[in-house]
Structure formats: structure tokens, C-alpha cells
Amino acid sequence: MRKLILLLVAAVVTLFIIGCPPPIDLEYELTVIIDGQGDVFKDPDREKYPHGEEVELEAFPHDGWEFSHWSGDIEGTERIQTLVMDEDKEATAHFDQIMHTITLEANPAEGGEVHGDGTYPKGTYVTVTAEAYENYTFHNWTEDGKVVHEQPEYSFYLVENRNLVANFVFMPEP
């Protein structure tokens, strides 16, 4: 009996030291959450994963959005991440909307006022307007010294930051 007890103690100590491998039939779920607008592709793409399997996640932003970061059981700012499935896991891909700024200026400042500046989501259809003061008339819109529009109301899709100048001409009364 004493030999049997020593043999059992030795077996338990050996298993404790080297560890017990998990049962082969364990399967885990991977939950992917999307914050913002984008997609996440899993490779391989399954409902459940066996213990120890590596899963590659790749985040793809929709137009007008950019990938920001991962949270949950993975963290980081790289679009591609790899998880080892050793328990149920959750990963959230965060996407931020791309924003652009319109800066408007009246030239000369006493010639009139401008409306429509601000920050907008990429792809927004924006209208800016210029209104001449008394004794001034609107001449044109310029950007980086180049004429971009010749009417006081200017509409466009915003795909980048814009710095527009509304140019006014002094027209004294006769």
C-alpha cells in the first residue's frame, strides 16, 4: 500500500511540474465587435476554434473612415493582429470617421463676410457663401492664389482640408 501511495504522489507531482495538456476537443468562440464603420475578416473564419489555433484578424475601414485601434483580448494600432485561441475571446475594431476642415477668409476683411467654415466628415457636400458689404462686390473664390469659383455660392464634396478666400472688390458710389 505504501508503494501505491508513493507512486500516486510521484504521478501527481510529475503532472504538477510538467502540467496537464488541455483536452483536445476544447473549442472556443471568437466574438468580433465593430465600433464605427468597417469590416473585420477572420482567417480562418469559423464559429468555433480548437484550443491553440491561431486566428488572424484584419480590419478594413469603409470609405470616409480609418482604422484606429483594437481593444478587448487584443490591443494595438496595427490593422492585422493574431490571436491564439485558448479561451473564448472578444476583439473590438475601432474605426474613426475622417474629418476635414474648411477655413474661410474675406479679402479684404471689410469687403464682406463668409459662411460655411468648420469641420465636416469626409465626402460631405458643402456649400460656402460670400456676402458683400455695401460699396463692395463679390469677385471670386481662390485657393492657394488660384481661382476655384466665380459665384458667391460655392458647393463641393469635401475630400481634403480647404483654405478658401472670398475676394471682394471695392465699388465706390458715383
Instruction: Count H helices and E strands in the chain, helices first.
Output: 1, 15
pLDDT tens readout for residues 60-111: 999 999 999 999 999 999 999 999 999 999 999 999 999 999 999 999 999 9
Separation of alpha carbons 101 and 83, rounded Å: 38
**Which residues, in sequence order, are bridge partners of residue 136?**
170
Q: Which amino acid makes up residue 16?
A: F
Of 132, 124, 128, nearest in space to 142 by CA? 128
The pTM is what?
Answer: 0.70
**Which residues, in sequence order, are bridge partners of residue 93?**
34, 70
Phi and psi dihedrals of 9, rounded to 5?
-65, -45
Q: 483536445: which residue's cell?
A: 24
CATH code linked to domain 99-170:
2.60.40
pLDDT tens readout for residues 25-68: 799 999 999 999 999 999 999 999 999 999 999 999 999 999 99
Cβ–Cβ under 8 Å, residues 39 and 60:
yes
Q: 510538467: which residue's cell?
A: 18
